[in-house]
């Protein structure tokens, strides 16, 4: 229930207001400004504070000014028997009141002013929450960027791979008509989908030639490690579930859980296709690039078996009809895959580092 406070040195008036509004609101009353401030300190702020102007010790304007500085979200109303212009101006300028009412004030008018004040209070709160949420979102974006950079320091191959997978996965999500928010989620998840590779020793990640089965088992752990790293962070969507599923395949042949079909999230199915396209198209430490054609053949051959058929169709359309190409990132100097070139990393130290 909303809390409304009446402050007046007329005890009878306070009694009648309490009788009128108790039950509809949680009513607090005080006979002076100092008593009201004490109560607010003890019981917490009220959404609406209605004060008389002429009171002993502290007048209404000074009291409401103090309320405004201590509890800026409380909406203030001046209710006075003195309808002098000077009083009104002081109340508005010092007390920054929302409404100025004169006594005797009909119940309906006062009730309306309280309802308007509560509405105003909700607007202020909503605006505050919106800005807090934006700050929180900016923080999360910064955190995601920090995770991307962390991978860049440890393993520039993976960092470039993640950036390209994120570009392609976002384009696929758009091509599939996903709403903008979900496109952004796909892009964010793709940009850190291999985060778990931070755990994998660099000699395995960058090993030229084929990995033996035990080494491959260690590499496979990266999906679950990424899940464990991301799980405690509240991104507002289950990014950890998307990340852990990016190597799952529709026929259950993927890892780590061998999930099938609809058990794999749509976002993970999109990223899985983008991941395979990038991995085959580009140079890897253990093999040269096979090229885009081979990548598209793999997806085409596995559509509906290993890969989501809609995601497979979307990626084919993007490359063959919509002219998609990978944009070179700041650490990538190779030309676009769509132009048929082989990317080879020529890494530069990041800014500010030796």
Which residues of the chain form contacts with Fe ion (CB under 5 A)? 194, 275
Nearer to Fe ion, 14 or 186 (CB): 186
Positive or negative, the Cα torsion across 51, 57, 62, 68? Answer: negative
Neighbours of 69 (CB within 10 A): 9
In terms of CB distance, is 110 or 205 closer to Fe ion? 205
Cβ proximity to Fe ion: between 76 and 161 the closer is 161
Told to judge if 154 belongs to the known catalytic residues of this protein, a careful annotator would answer no
Q: How many CB atoms lie within 10 A of CB 62?
A: 16
Beta strands in the chain (DSSP E): 3-7, 26-30, 48-51, 75-80, 99-102
Minimum separation from the CB atom of position 334 to Fe ion (A) = 18
Distance CA 130, CA 177 (A): 27
- Give the residue with the Cβ less far from Fe ion, 238 or 256: 256
CB 251 within 8 A of CB 305: yes
Q: Which residues of 120-148 are buried (b: 16+ CB within 10 A; e: fewer)?
A: bbeeeeeeeeeeeeeeeeeebeeebeebb
> Minimum CB separation from Fe ion for residue 310, in Å?
20
Closer to Fe ion by Cβ: residue 96 or 266: 266
- State the minimum distance, in angstroms, from the CB of residue 275 to Fe ion: 4
To Fe ion, the closest distance from the beta carbon of 247 in angstroms equals 6
Q: Which of 94, 197, 322, 348 is catalytic?
A: 197
Distance, in Å, from the CA atom of 21 to the CA atom of 23, rounded to the nearest integer, reads 6
Distance of closest approach, residue 271 Cβ to Fe ion, in angstroms:
8
Region of 5 please: left (phi>0), alpha (psi -120 to 50) or beta: beta
Residues with active-site annotation? 197
């Amino acid at each position: 229930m909303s809390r409304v406070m009446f402050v007046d040195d007329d005890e009878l008036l306070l009694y009648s207001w309490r009788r009128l509004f108790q039950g509809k609101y949680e009513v607090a009353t005080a006979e002076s400004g100092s008593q009201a401030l004490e109560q607010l300190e003890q019981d917490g702020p009220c959404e609406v504070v209605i004060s008389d102007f002429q009171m002993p010790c502290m007048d209404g304007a000074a009291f409401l000014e103090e309320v405004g500085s201590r509890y800026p979200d409380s909406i203030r109303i001046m209710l006075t028997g003195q309808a002098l212009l000077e009083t009104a101006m002081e109340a508005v300028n010092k007390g920054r009141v929302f409404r100025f009412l004169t006594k005797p004030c009909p119940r309906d008018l006062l009730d309306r002013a309280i309802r308007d004040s509560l509405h105003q209070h909700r607007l202020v709160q909503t605006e505050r929450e919106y800005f807090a949420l934006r700050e929180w979102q900016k923080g999360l974006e910064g955190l995601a960027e920090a995770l991307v950079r962390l991978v860049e320091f440890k393993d520039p191959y993976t960092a470039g791979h993640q950036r390209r997978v994120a570009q392609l996965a976002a384009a696929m999500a758009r091509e599939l008509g996903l709403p903008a928010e979900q496109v952004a989620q796909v892009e964010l998840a793709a940009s850190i989908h291999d985060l778990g590779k931070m755990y994998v020793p660099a000699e395995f990640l960058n090993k030229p030639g084929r990995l033996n089965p035990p080494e491959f088992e260690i590499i496979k752990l990266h999906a679950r490690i990424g899940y464990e790293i991301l799980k405690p962070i509240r991104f507002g969507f289950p990014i950890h579930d998307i990340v852990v599923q990016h190597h799952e395949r529709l026929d259950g042949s993927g890892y780590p859980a061998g999930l099938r079909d609809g058990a794999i999230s749509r976002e993970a199915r999109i990223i899985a296709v983008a991941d395979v396209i990038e991995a085959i198209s580009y140079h890897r430490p253990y093999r040269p690039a096979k090229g885009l054609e081979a990548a598209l053949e793999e997806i085409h051959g596995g559509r509906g078996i290993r890969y989501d058929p809609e995601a497979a169709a979307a990626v084919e359309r993007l490359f063959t009809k919509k002219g998609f190409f990978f944009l070179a990132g700041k650490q990538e100097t190779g030309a676009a895959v769509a132009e048929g070139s082989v990317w080879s990393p020529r890494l530069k130290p990041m800014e500010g580092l030796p």
